[in-house]
Amino acid sequence: MNQLQQLIASFPLIEDLISLKETLWFNPKLSAYQTGIELAPLSRADVIDAEDRLNRFASYIANVYPETKEAGGIIESPLVTIPKMKQKLEKDYSQPIFGELLLKCDSHLPISGSIKARGGIYEVLKHAEQLAIEKGLLTTDDDYSILANEKFRTFFSNYSIAVGSTGNLGLSIGIMSAKLGFQVTVHMSRDAKQWKKDLLRSKNVKVVEYEADFSKAVEEGRRQAEKDPTCHFVDDENSTDLFLGYAVAASRLKKQLDGLNITVDEEHPLFVYLPCGVGGGPGGVAFGLKLAFGDHVHCFFAEPTHSPAMMLGMMTELHDEISVQDIGLDNQTAADGLAVGRPSGFVGKVMEPFLSGCFTVRDERMYNLLKDLADTEEILLEPSALAGMTGPTKLFQEGKSYLENYNLTGKMENATHIVWATGGSMVPEDVMASYYAEGKKLDQ
Ligand SMILES: *Cc1c(COP(=O)(O)O)cnc(C)c1O
Protein backbone atom coordinates (compact mmCIF):
# COMPACT_ATOMS: atom_id res chain seq x y z
CA MET A 1 0.00 0.00 0.00
CA ASN A 2 1.27 3.45 -0.75
CA GLN A 3 0.97 6.31 1.72
CA LEU A 4 -2.35 7.57 0.41
CA GLN A 5 -3.91 4.10 0.43
CA GLN A 6 -2.78 3.69 4.03
CA LEU A 7 -4.35 7.01 4.97
CA ILE A 8 -7.63 6.04 3.32
CA ALA A 9 -7.60 2.71 5.14
CA SER A 10 -7.30 4.57 8.46
CA PHE A 11 -9.66 7.41 7.53
CA PRO A 12 -12.24 6.19 5.00
CA LEU A 13 -13.85 9.65 4.85
CA ILE A 14 -10.85 10.77 2.78
CA GLU A 15 -12.37 8.81 -0.10
CA ASP A 16 -15.40 11.13 0.00
CA LEU A 17 -13.11 14.16 0.06
CA ILE A 18 -11.26 12.84 -3.00
CA SER A 19 -14.52 12.33 -4.89
CA LEU A 20 -15.53 15.93 -3.98
CA LYS A 21 -18.59 14.69 -2.12
CA GLU A 22 -19.99 17.03 0.53
CA THR A 23 -18.74 15.52 3.76
CA LEU A 24 -19.40 15.95 7.47
CA TRP A 25 -16.76 14.90 9.99
CA PHE A 26 -17.21 14.84 13.75
CA ASN A 27 -14.11 15.33 15.85
CA PRO A 28 -13.48 12.24 18.00
CA LYS A 29 -11.06 14.23 20.18
CA LEU A 30 -13.66 16.79 21.30
CA SER A 31 -13.21 17.04 25.08
CA ALA A 32 -14.83 18.70 28.03
CA TYR A 33 -14.04 22.42 28.09
CA GLN A 34 -12.00 22.16 31.29
CA THR A 35 -9.74 19.48 29.80
CA GLY A 36 -9.34 21.46 26.59
CA ILE A 37 -8.47 24.77 28.16
CA GLU A 38 -5.70 23.20 30.24
CA LEU A 39 -4.09 21.93 27.04
CA ALA A 40 -4.32 25.27 25.24
CA PRO A 41 -1.14 27.32 24.72
CA LEU A 42 -3.23 30.51 25.06
CA SER A 43 -5.44 31.62 27.92
CA ARG A 44 -8.33 33.87 28.87
CA ALA A 45 -5.79 36.46 30.05
CA ASP A 46 -4.32 36.62 26.52
CA VAL A 47 -7.74 37.34 25.01
CA ILE A 48 -8.49 39.99 27.65
CA ASP A 49 -5.13 41.61 26.90
CA ALA A 50 -6.12 41.80 23.21
CA GLU A 51 -9.51 43.25 24.08
CA ASP A 52 -7.89 45.90 26.32
CA ARG A 53 -5.50 46.82 23.50
CA LEU A 54 -8.40 47.29 21.06
CA ASN A 55 -10.09 49.49 23.66
CA ARG A 56 -6.95 51.63 23.94
CA PHE A 57 -6.98 52.11 20.16
CA ALA A 58 -10.69 52.97 20.03
CA SER A 59 -10.15 56.75 20.16
CA TYR A 60 -7.66 56.53 17.27
CA ILE A 61 -9.96 54.31 15.18
CA ALA A 62 -12.94 56.63 15.79
CA ASN A 63 -10.75 59.54 14.73
CA VAL A 64 -9.41 58.11 11.45
CA TYR A 65 -12.50 56.05 10.51
CA PRO A 66 -15.53 58.29 11.14
CA GLU A 67 -17.87 55.38 10.27
CA THR A 68 -16.81 53.81 13.59
CA LYS A 69 -17.52 56.95 15.65
CA GLU A 70 -21.01 55.88 16.69
CA ALA A 71 -19.63 52.61 18.06
CA GLY A 72 -16.90 54.53 19.91
CA GLY A 73 -14.14 53.27 17.61
CA ILE A 74 -14.93 49.61 18.32
CA ILE A 75 -14.93 47.58 15.10
CA GLU A 76 -17.97 45.32 15.48
CA SER A 77 -20.69 43.79 13.32
CA PRO A 78 -24.44 43.21 13.72
CA LEU A 79 -26.00 39.93 14.83
CA VAL A 80 -29.39 39.49 13.13
CA THR A 81 -32.12 36.88 12.88
CA ILE A 82 -32.83 35.53 9.38
CA PRO A 83 -36.31 33.96 9.66
CA LYS A 84 -37.11 34.10 5.93
CA MET A 85 -33.85 32.39 5.03
CA LYS A 86 -34.60 29.77 7.67
CA GLN A 87 -37.94 29.04 6.01
CA LYS A 88 -36.30 28.84 2.62
CA LEU A 89 -33.69 26.34 3.87
CA GLU A 90 -36.34 24.23 5.60
CA LYS A 91 -38.38 24.08 2.42
CA ASP A 92 -35.50 23.45 -0.01
CA TYR A 93 -33.89 20.72 2.10
CA SER A 94 -37.16 19.32 3.53
CA GLN A 95 -35.57 19.52 6.95
CA PRO A 96 -36.85 21.54 9.90
CA ILE A 97 -34.21 23.62 11.69
CA PHE A 98 -35.08 23.44 15.38
CA GLY A 99 -34.16 26.55 17.34
CA GLU A 100 -33.37 30.08 16.17
CA LEU A 101 -31.19 30.90 13.14
CA LEU A 102 -28.99 34.02 13.28
CA LEU A 103 -26.39 35.58 11.02
CA LYS A 104 -23.24 37.22 12.40
CA CYS A 105 -22.53 39.90 9.82
CA ASP A 106 -18.74 40.20 9.79
CA SER A 107 -19.40 40.87 6.12
CA HIS A 108 -20.35 44.33 7.35
CA LEU A 109 -17.45 45.02 9.70
CA PRO A 110 -16.21 48.57 9.14
CA ILE A 111 -12.89 49.38 7.44
CA SER A 112 -12.33 46.17 5.47
CA GLY A 113 -15.67 44.36 5.20
CA SER A 114 -14.62 40.89 6.32
CA ILE A 115 -13.70 38.83 9.38
CA LYS A 116 -10.10 39.93 8.71
CA ALA A 117 -10.99 43.33 10.14
CA ARG A 118 -10.69 41.54 13.51
CA GLY A 119 -7.37 39.66 13.45
CA GLY A 120 -5.63 41.59 10.69
CA ILE A 121 -6.25 45.05 12.07
CA TYR A 122 -5.47 43.88 15.60
CA GLU A 123 -2.03 42.60 14.61
CA VAL A 124 -1.12 45.85 12.83
CA LEU A 125 -2.26 47.93 15.81
CA LYS A 126 -0.33 45.76 18.24
CA HIS A 127 2.83 46.09 16.16
CA ALA A 128 2.41 49.88 15.93
CA GLU A 129 1.88 50.16 19.67
CA GLN A 130 4.94 48.09 20.42
CA LEU A 131 7.19 50.19 18.13
CA ALA A 132 5.90 53.49 19.51
CA ILE A 133 6.25 52.36 23.14
CA GLU A 134 9.78 51.00 22.54
CA LYS A 135 10.87 54.36 21.14
CA GLY A 136 9.31 56.25 24.06
CA LEU A 137 6.74 57.99 21.87
CA LEU A 138 3.68 56.46 23.52
CA THR A 139 2.52 55.04 26.86
CA THR A 140 -0.53 52.87 27.45
CA ASP A 141 -2.06 55.74 29.46
CA ASP A 142 -2.05 58.11 26.47
CA ASP A 143 -5.11 58.95 24.40
CA TYR A 144 -4.21 56.96 21.27
CA SER A 145 -5.89 59.46 18.95
CA ILE A 146 -2.47 61.16 18.93
CA LEU A 147 -1.35 58.35 16.61
CA ALA A 148 -3.12 60.18 13.80
CA ASN A 149 -0.57 63.02 14.08
CA GLU A 150 1.95 63.54 11.27
CA LYS A 151 4.78 62.86 13.74
CA PHE A 152 3.61 59.26 14.13
CA ARG A 153 2.98 58.77 10.43
CA THR A 154 6.55 59.87 9.73
CA PHE A 155 7.83 57.55 12.45
CA PHE A 156 5.94 54.52 11.12
CA SER A 157 7.07 55.26 7.54
CA ASN A 158 10.51 53.98 8.59
CA TYR A 159 9.02 50.52 9.04
CA SER A 160 7.33 48.09 6.75
CA ILE A 161 4.71 45.38 7.03
CA ALA A 162 4.20 42.42 4.68
CA VAL A 163 1.59 39.69 4.34
CA GLY A 164 0.61 36.81 2.04
CA SER A 165 -3.10 36.55 1.29
CA THR A 166 -5.91 35.26 -0.90
CA GLY A 167 -7.37 38.77 -0.70
CA ASN A 168 -9.21 39.76 2.45
CA LEU A 169 -6.30 39.59 4.87
CA GLY A 170 -4.34 41.69 2.40
CA LEU A 171 -7.16 44.23 2.39
CA SER A 172 -7.20 44.50 6.18
CA ILE A 173 -3.45 44.63 6.67
CA GLY A 174 -2.96 46.93 3.69
CA ILE A 175 -5.65 49.44 4.60
CA MET A 176 -4.74 49.65 8.30
CA SER A 177 -0.96 49.73 7.79
CA ALA A 178 -1.18 52.43 5.13
CA LYS A 179 -3.44 54.52 7.37
CA LEU A 180 -0.87 54.45 10.18
CA GLY A 181 1.91 55.40 7.75
CA PHE A 182 3.73 52.08 7.34
CA GLN A 183 5.16 50.94 4.02
CA VAL A 184 3.17 47.83 3.21
CA THR A 185 3.49 44.97 0.73
CA VAL A 186 0.76 42.40 0.08
CA HIS A 187 1.69 39.13 -1.63
CA MET A 188 -1.46 37.95 -3.40
CA SER A 189 -2.24 34.40 -4.49
CA ARG A 190 -3.79 33.71 -7.91
CA ASP A 191 -7.27 33.50 -6.30
CA ALA A 192 -7.21 37.14 -5.25
CA LYS A 193 -9.82 39.24 -7.02
CA GLN A 194 -8.77 42.10 -9.27
CA TRP A 195 -10.86 44.67 -7.40
CA LYS A 196 -9.04 43.88 -4.16
CA LYS A 197 -5.67 44.47 -5.83
CA ASP A 198 -6.92 47.71 -7.42
CA LEU A 199 -8.31 48.98 -4.14
CA LEU A 200 -5.04 48.34 -2.34
CA ARG A 201 -2.96 50.01 -5.04
CA SER A 202 -5.21 53.07 -4.82
CA LYS A 203 -4.16 53.31 -1.17
CA ASN A 204 -0.45 53.16 -1.98
CA VAL A 205 -0.08 49.54 -0.97
CA LYS A 206 2.48 47.53 -2.95
CA VAL A 207 0.78 44.44 -4.40
CA VAL A 208 2.89 41.51 -5.62
CA GLU A 209 0.96 38.93 -7.65
CA TYR A 210 1.65 35.20 -7.89
CA GLU A 211 0.41 32.55 -10.27
CA ALA A 212 0.43 30.08 -7.37
CA ASP A 213 -1.87 29.49 -4.41
CA PHE A 214 -1.96 30.87 -0.88
CA SER A 215 0.83 28.73 0.60
CA LYS A 216 3.24 29.98 -2.06
CA ALA A 217 2.25 33.65 -1.61
CA VAL A 218 2.84 33.32 2.14
CA GLU A 219 6.18 31.57 1.64
CA GLU A 220 7.45 34.22 -0.78
CA GLY A 221 6.24 37.04 1.45
CA ARG A 222 7.93 35.48 4.46
CA ARG A 223 11.18 35.00 2.55
CA GLN A 224 11.31 38.58 1.32
CA ALA A 225 10.37 40.01 4.71
CA GLU A 226 13.13 38.05 6.45
CA LYS A 227 15.74 40.00 4.49
CA ASP A 228 14.55 43.28 5.98
CA PRO A 229 14.95 43.82 9.75
CA THR A 230 12.50 46.76 9.71
CA CYS A 231 9.80 44.55 8.17
CA HIS A 232 7.10 42.83 10.22
CA PHE A 233 5.63 39.79 8.48
CA VAL A 234 2.03 38.96 9.35
CA ASP A 235 2.14 35.18 9.32
CA ASP A 236 -1.35 33.89 8.60
CA GLU A 237 -0.21 30.30 9.15
CA ASN A 238 1.31 30.79 12.61
CA SER A 239 0.38 34.13 14.17
CA THR A 240 -1.01 34.08 17.70
CA ASP A 241 -1.74 37.82 17.43
CA LEU A 242 -4.12 37.30 14.52
CA PHE A 243 -5.74 34.48 16.47
CA LEU A 244 -6.24 36.62 19.59
CA GLY A 245 -7.66 39.49 17.56
CA TYR A 246 -10.32 37.11 16.23
CA ALA A 247 -10.97 35.66 19.69
CA VAL A 248 -12.16 39.04 21.03
CA ALA A 249 -15.32 38.57 18.94
CA ALA A 250 -16.78 36.18 21.50
CA SER A 251 -17.18 38.44 24.52
CA ARG A 252 -18.83 41.01 22.26
CA LEU A 253 -21.13 38.36 20.80
CA LYS A 254 -22.11 37.39 24.32
CA LYS A 255 -23.29 40.97 24.95
CA GLN A 256 -25.23 40.95 21.67
CA LEU A 257 -26.96 37.70 22.62
CA ASP A 258 -27.83 39.18 26.03
CA GLY A 259 -29.26 42.19 24.20
CA LEU A 260 -31.51 39.89 22.16
CA ASN A 261 -32.55 38.03 25.33
CA ILE A 262 -30.98 34.83 24.03
CA THR A 263 -29.77 32.49 26.74
CA VAL A 264 -26.89 30.08 26.31
CA ASP A 265 -26.63 27.41 29.00
CA GLU A 266 -27.01 23.68 29.64
CA GLU A 267 -30.63 23.75 28.40
CA HIS A 268 -30.03 26.28 25.60
CA PRO A 269 -27.13 25.09 23.43
CA LEU A 270 -25.37 27.35 20.93
CA PHE A 271 -24.15 26.09 17.53
CA VAL A 272 -21.77 28.20 15.46
CA TYR A 273 -20.81 27.52 11.84
CA LEU A 274 -17.61 29.20 10.67
CA PRO A 275 -16.10 29.28 7.17
CA CYS A 276 -12.48 28.11 7.38
CA GLY A 277 -9.45 28.86 5.23
CA VAL A 278 -6.07 28.52 6.94
CA GLY A 279 -7.92 28.43 10.27
CA GLY A 280 -6.91 31.55 12.19
CA GLY A 281 -10.22 33.40 11.82
CA PRO A 282 -12.62 30.60 12.69
CA GLY A 283 -10.14 29.11 15.17
CA GLY A 284 -9.71 32.36 17.05
CA VAL A 285 -13.45 32.99 17.17
CA ALA A 286 -14.14 29.41 18.30
CA PHE A 287 -11.47 29.65 21.00
CA GLY A 288 -13.08 32.84 22.31
CA LEU A 289 -16.52 31.19 22.17
CA LYS A 290 -15.27 28.26 24.24
CA LEU A 291 -13.90 30.70 26.84
CA ALA A 292 -17.27 32.47 26.89
CA PHE A 293 -19.67 29.52 26.80
CA GLY A 294 -17.63 26.38 27.64
CA ASP A 295 -19.41 23.11 26.90
CA HIS A 296 -22.61 24.91 25.88
CA VAL A 297 -21.20 26.05 22.53
CA HIS A 298 -20.59 23.69 19.61
CA CYS A 299 -18.30 24.99 16.86
CA PHE A 300 -18.16 23.66 13.30
CA PHE A 301 -15.85 24.73 10.47
CA ALA A 302 -17.05 24.87 6.86
CA GLU A 303 -14.78 24.46 3.82
CA PRO A 304 -15.17 24.15 0.04
CA THR A 305 -15.15 20.59 -1.34
CA HIS A 306 -12.04 21.53 -3.35
CA SER A 307 -10.15 22.87 -0.28
CA PRO A 308 -10.93 20.79 2.82
CA ALA A 309 -7.54 21.60 4.35
CA MET A 310 -8.54 21.84 8.00
CA MET A 311 -10.76 18.76 7.91
CA LEU A 312 -7.96 16.73 6.36
CA GLY A 313 -5.33 18.06 8.76
CA MET A 314 -7.41 17.49 11.88
CA MET A 315 -8.83 14.13 10.86
CA THR A 316 -5.41 12.65 10.10
CA GLU A 317 -3.77 14.64 12.93
CA LEU A 318 -1.09 15.52 10.38
CA HIS A 319 -2.18 19.19 10.50
CA ASP A 320 0.17 21.27 8.34
CA GLU A 321 2.07 18.17 7.28
CA ILE A 322 -0.64 17.29 4.78
CA SER A 323 -2.27 19.33 2.00
CA VAL A 324 -5.34 18.80 -0.15
CA GLN A 325 -2.98 18.44 -3.13
CA ASP A 326 -1.53 15.36 -1.39
CA ILE A 327 -4.89 13.61 -1.85
CA GLY A 328 -5.19 14.82 -5.44
CA LEU A 329 -7.46 17.84 -4.97
CA ASP A 330 -6.79 21.04 -6.91
CA ASN A 331 -7.61 23.72 -4.28
CA GLN A 332 -9.55 25.63 -6.96
CA THR A 333 -12.66 27.27 -5.58
CA ALA A 334 -14.83 30.32 -6.16
CA ALA A 335 -14.72 30.83 -2.39
CA ASP A 336 -11.46 32.78 -2.62
CA GLY A 337 -11.29 33.44 1.14
CA LEU A 338 -11.20 29.69 1.71
CA ALA A 339 -8.82 28.69 -1.09
CA VAL A 340 -6.21 27.20 1.22
CA GLY A 341 -4.65 23.80 0.59
CA ARG A 342 -2.59 23.43 3.74
CA PRO A 343 -4.01 24.40 7.14
CA SER A 344 -2.29 26.24 9.95
CA GLY A 345 -0.62 23.63 12.16
CA PHE A 346 -0.86 25.87 15.17
CA VAL A 347 -4.62 26.40 14.89
CA GLY A 348 -5.47 22.74 14.24
CA LYS A 349 -3.58 21.65 17.34
CA VAL A 350 -5.24 24.29 19.53
CA MET A 351 -8.66 23.25 18.19
CA GLU A 352 -8.23 19.51 18.76
CA PRO A 353 -10.17 19.39 22.06
CA PHE A 354 -12.59 22.22 21.16
CA LEU A 355 -13.89 21.68 17.62
CA SER A 356 -17.10 19.69 17.20
CA GLY A 357 -16.51 18.98 13.52
CA CYS A 358 -15.96 20.14 9.95
CA PHE A 359 -18.06 19.93 6.81
CA THR A 360 -17.55 20.67 3.14
CA VAL A 361 -19.77 22.54 0.68
CA ARG A 362 -19.79 22.64 -3.12
CA ASP A 363 -19.11 25.99 -4.81
CA GLU A 364 -22.44 25.77 -6.67
CA ARG A 365 -24.27 25.56 -3.39
CA MET A 366 -22.48 28.62 -1.98
CA TYR A 367 -23.55 30.63 -5.04
CA ASN A 368 -27.11 29.37 -4.77
CA LEU A 369 -27.30 30.24 -1.06
CA LEU A 370 -25.83 33.67 -1.85
CA LYS A 371 -28.77 34.28 -4.17
CA ASP A 372 -31.28 32.88 -1.65
CA LEU A 373 -30.01 35.11 1.16
CA ALA A 374 -30.16 38.14 -1.13
CA ASP A 375 -33.74 37.27 -2.16
CA THR A 376 -35.07 36.44 1.31
CA GLU A 377 -33.23 38.83 3.63
CA GLU A 378 -31.64 41.36 1.26
CA ILE A 379 -28.21 40.64 2.68
CA LEU A 380 -25.34 40.43 0.19
CA LEU A 381 -22.33 38.25 0.96
CA GLU A 382 -19.33 36.93 -0.94
CA PRO A 383 -19.41 33.20 -1.80
CA SER A 384 -17.00 32.18 1.01
CA ALA A 385 -19.32 33.69 3.59
CA LEU A 386 -22.12 31.26 2.71
CA ALA A 387 -20.07 28.16 3.50
CA GLY A 388 -21.58 27.81 6.97
CA MET A 389 -25.19 28.23 5.87
CA THR A 390 -25.97 24.52 5.42
CA GLY A 391 -24.51 23.70 8.83
CA PRO A 392 -27.80 23.48 10.77
CA THR A 393 -29.44 21.36 8.05
CA LYS A 394 -26.48 18.99 7.96
CA LEU A 395 -26.46 18.74 11.75
CA PHE A 396 -30.10 17.62 11.84
CA GLN A 397 -29.76 15.31 8.83
CA GLU A 398 -26.45 13.65 9.66
CA GLY A 399 -25.67 14.50 13.26
CA LYS A 400 -28.17 12.44 15.22
CA SER A 401 -25.50 10.50 17.07
CA TYR A 402 -23.61 13.71 17.93
CA LEU A 403 -26.79 15.18 19.41
CA GLU A 404 -27.42 11.99 21.36
CA ASN A 405 -23.83 11.65 22.60
CA TYR A 406 -23.85 15.14 24.03
CA ASN A 407 -27.36 14.85 25.43
CA LEU A 408 -28.74 17.55 23.11
CA THR A 409 -31.60 15.77 21.36
CA GLY A 410 -34.35 17.03 23.67
CA LYS A 411 -32.95 20.57 23.81
CA MET A 412 -32.89 21.55 20.16
CA GLU A 413 -36.11 23.57 20.28
CA ASN A 414 -34.16 25.89 22.61
CA ALA A 415 -31.03 25.96 20.48
CA THR A 416 -29.45 28.97 18.79
CA HIS A 417 -27.61 28.54 15.48
CA ILE A 418 -25.23 31.27 14.33
CA VAL A 419 -23.94 31.24 10.78
CA TRP A 420 -20.79 33.37 10.65
CA ALA A 421 -20.98 35.54 7.51
CA THR A 422 -17.32 36.36 6.96
CA GLY A 423 -17.25 38.85 4.09
CA GLY A 424 -18.99 40.72 1.33
CA SER A 425 -19.88 44.36 1.95
CA MET A 426 -16.93 45.69 -0.06
CA VAL A 427 -17.60 43.61 -3.17
CA PRO A 428 -18.21 46.00 -6.11
CA GLU A 429 -21.77 46.01 -7.46
CA ASP A 430 -20.95 44.46 -10.84
CA VAL A 431 -18.99 41.63 -9.23
CA MET A 432 -21.87 40.99 -6.82
CA ALA A 433 -24.31 40.96 -9.74
CA SER A 434 -22.25 38.25 -11.42
CA TYR A 435 -22.26 36.17 -8.19
CA TYR A 436 -26.02 36.53 -7.98
CA ALA A 437 -26.43 35.52 -11.62
CA GLU A 438 -24.26 32.46 -11.01
CA GLY A 439 -26.50 31.47 -8.11
CA LYS A 440 -29.62 31.95 -10.17
CA LYS A 441 -28.40 29.65 -12.94
CA LEU A 442 -28.44 26.80 -10.48
CA ASP A 443 -32.13 27.23 -9.73
CA GLN A 444 -32.99 25.85 -13.17
C1 LIG B 1 -10.15 34.62 5.50
C2 LIG B 1 -11.54 34.33 5.36
C3 LIG B 1 -12.13 33.23 6.01
C4 LIG B 1 -11.38 32.24 6.83
O5 LIG B 1 -10.38 32.69 7.69
P6 LIG B 1 -9.05 31.87 7.87
O7 LIG B 1 -8.32 32.55 8.94
O8 LIG B 1 -8.30 31.90 6.57
O9 LIG B 1 -9.44 30.46 8.20
C10 LIG B 1 -13.47 33.03 5.81
N11 LIG B 1 -14.22 33.84 5.03
C12 LIG B 1 -13.69 34.90 4.41
C13 LIG B 1 -14.57 35.75 3.56
C14 LIG B 1 -12.34 35.18 4.55
O15 LIG B 1 -11.81 36.22 3.92
CB of 280 closer than 6 angstroms to any ligand 1 atom:
yes
> pLDDT 10s digit of each residue in the chain, 444 long?
788 999 999 999 999 999 999 999 999 999 999 999 999 999 999 999 999 999 999 999 999 999 999 999 999 999 999 999 999 999 999 999 999 999 999 999 999 999 999 999 999 999 999 999 999 999 999 999 999 999 999 999 999 999 999 899 999 999 999 999 999 999 998 888 999 999 999 999 999 999 888 888 899 999 989 999 999 999 999 999 999 999 999 999 999 999 999 999 999 999 999 999 999 999 999 999 999 999 999 999 999 999 999 999 999 999 999 999 999 999 999 999 999 999 998 999 999 999 999 999 999 999 999 999 999 999 999 999 999 999 999 999 999 999 999 999 999 999 999 999 999 999 999 999 999 999 998 876
Write out the DSSP string of 80-128: EE-HHHHHHHHHHTT----SEEEEEEGGG-TTTSBTHHHHHHHHHHHHH
Q: Which atom of ligand 1 is nearest to the CA of 107?
A: 13
CB of 278 closer than 6 angstroms to any ligand 1 atom:
yes
Residue 163 Cα to ligand 1 middle (Å): 14
pLDDT at 103: 98
Helix (H), strand (E) at residue 185: strand 183-188
CB of 337 closer than 6 angstroms to any ligand 1 atom:
yes
CB of 277 closer than 6 angstroms to any ligand 1 atom:
yes
Residue closest via CA to ligand 1's atom 15 equals 337
pLDDT tens digit sequence for 174-203:
999 999 999 999 999 888 899 999 999 999
Residue closest via CA to ligand 1's atom 2 equals 337
Q: Which CATH architecture has domain 3-112+243-443?
A: 3-Layer(aba) Sandwich (3.40)
Residue 279 Cα to ligand 1 middle (Å): 7
CB of 196 closer than 6 angstroms to any ligand 1 atom:
no
CB of 422 closer than 6 angstroms to any ligand 1 atom:
yes
pTM greater than 0.95: yes
CB of 168 closer than 6 angstroms to any ligand 1 atom:
yes
CATH number for the region 116-238 comes to 3.40.50.1100
Q: Which atom of ligand 1 is nearest to the CA of 276?
A: 9
Residue 127 Cα to ligand 1 middle (Å): 22
Q: What are the CA-CA distances from residue 366 to residues 27, 285, 288, 332, 337 (Å)?
A: 24, 22, 26, 14, 13
Q: Which atom of ligand 1 is nearest to the CA of 279?
A: 9
CB of 385 closer than 6 angstroms to any ligand 1 atom:
yes
From the number of C-beta atoms within 10 Å of its C-beta (0-12, 13-18, 19+), residue 432 rates as middle
Q: Which atom of ligand 1 is nearest to the CA of 242?
A: 7
pLDDT at 444: 60
Residue 139 Cα to ligand 1 middle (Å): 33
CATH 3.40.50.1100 placement within the chain: 3-112+243-443, 116-238
CB of 116 closer than 6 angstroms to any ligand 1 atom:
yes
- Rounded CA separation 146/124 (Å): 17
Sheet of 355-361, strand order = 24-26, 355-361, 297-304, 270-275, 416-421, 100-105, 79-81
CB of 279 closer than 6 angstroms to any ligand 1 atom:
yes
Residue 210 Cα to ligand 1 middle (Å): 19
